[in-house]
Amino acid sequence: MKSVLDVAAIKADFPIFEQSMRGGKRLVFLDSGATSQKPRSVIEAESNFYYTSNAAVHRGSYLLAERASEAFDGARSDVAEFLGVDSEEIIFTKSATESLNILAYAFGNPRSARCVGPGDEIVLSELEHHANLIPWQELAKRTGAVLKWFSVQEDGSLDLSNISSVITEKCKIVAITHQSNVLGSIPNIAPIISATHAVGALFVLDACQSVPHMPVAPRELGIDFLAFSGHKALGPTGVGVLWGKSDLLDGMQPMLFGGSMIDSVTMTDATWADAPKRFEAGVPNMAQAVGLAAGLKYLQSVGLEKIHEWELQLTKRALDGLREIADVKILGPQSLEQRGGVISFVIDGLHPHDVGQVMDQFGVAVRTGHHCAWPLIRKLGVSGTTRASFYLYNDMSDVDVLLESVTAARDYFRKR
């Protein structure tokens, strides 16, 4: 099958693939669901900021400060363009985890325009990563709100048969993942969004596993908030994004306080600047934001639709191959419908950590364990899984090595 991407040329842009792994094996990186590798353009954009423009943004009238501010503001505009939104709706955070915590804090603050109180309902799903579960759990505990959720079915989809009883007039917040980081399944969020807004609630999308891999347009989806991590989208660690509709952001109270986020201050009181500044206290992650913008530009140059199509081709080959290996069970979606390039599997009688260690001997990097999704893992009835996740720098030979290493892991422990 002909690739829609020039993977060899893409891989050449990523310096990390120039090194060898154990025993001289080449690196087969299949853990992009946890973090992506970085192209030279991202590494250089971040380092060049320190070489040429390092100064605290929006604080000085000298040349370096002007360069820094222009680079940081430009990065915000680039992220906004990537999502098709307004730049003042883009908040830089340190991670998607922080982005979601900012929302959960704001909705628990009585001074916010939209606030959760006793008896109100917050709706999640069993697919959620801890980052989109625990902040809402804590919000419910603080406010006396009730936590409800959609259950996951064997094929990785959400059971929406009871949507009218899950999302009721008492609902204030619905927070759902756009793609499961464990199963790769993409929930059917359209009816959930519709039901959310029908009762006047707000919809939050955890887009960590979707924004780096496929076109995502918040306005077209009709959502209210979106969060994603820079390090999963070819960008540096230490930078995340929170997008929200401007009128909603301006009605929210901030979680962090200090310099840059204020409008005025006296010895006894303070007022906040408009969004996004009110949510970016202190000197921001300037170089990281610049690096993220470079990563998103790289993705745009390749094409998100092509990336998604290629990942599904890789996923099909992996699914077909894993089915042929005795004692291997694939969890979640068995077809390419409503899924992305993430596959979780177990080998009968073997612990995922043992499987991962054998695969490492082949240069294969996969994630093993519960993937920060304990409720889902318990629902699946396993102690953990081995997870392979594909990206634009993977090719069919990577899938072949994956299958070879899985077979070797099974055979190694069967002989002992």
SS3 state at 124: strand
Contact 151, 158 (CB under 8 A): yes
Residues in the chain: 416
Contact 167, 316 (CB under 8 A): no
Q: State the catalytic residue, choosing from 115, 171, 208, 372.
A: 372
DSSP 121: E
Q: Which two tokens stand for residue 340?
A: 């992305």
**Which contacts qualify for 275-278: CB closer than 8 Å, 24 or more apart?**
275/88, 275/89, 275/91, 275/244, 275/246, 275/249, 275/250, 276/76, 276/88, 276/89, 276/90, 276/91, 276/92, 276/249, 278/254
d(CA 195, CA 193): 5
Estimate the share of the chain in helix, then strand, then coil, as percent rounded to the nearest 5.
Answer: 40, 15, 40
Q: Which two tokens stand for residue 52?
A: 């040429």
SS3 state at 161: coil
H-state helical runs in 324-369 = 352-360
Specify whether 115 is catalytic: no
Contact 384, 46 (CB under 8 A): no
CA distances from 110 to 77, 115, 251, 252, 256 (A): 32, 6, 11, 10, 16
Contact 278, 272 (CB under 8 A): yes
Could you tell me which of 133, 131, 104, 137 has the C-alpha nearest to residue 240?
131
Which residues have C-beta within 8 Å of that of residue 236, sequence separation ≥ 6?
38, 42, 46, 230, 287, 288, 291, 292, 295
- Catalytic residue list: 372
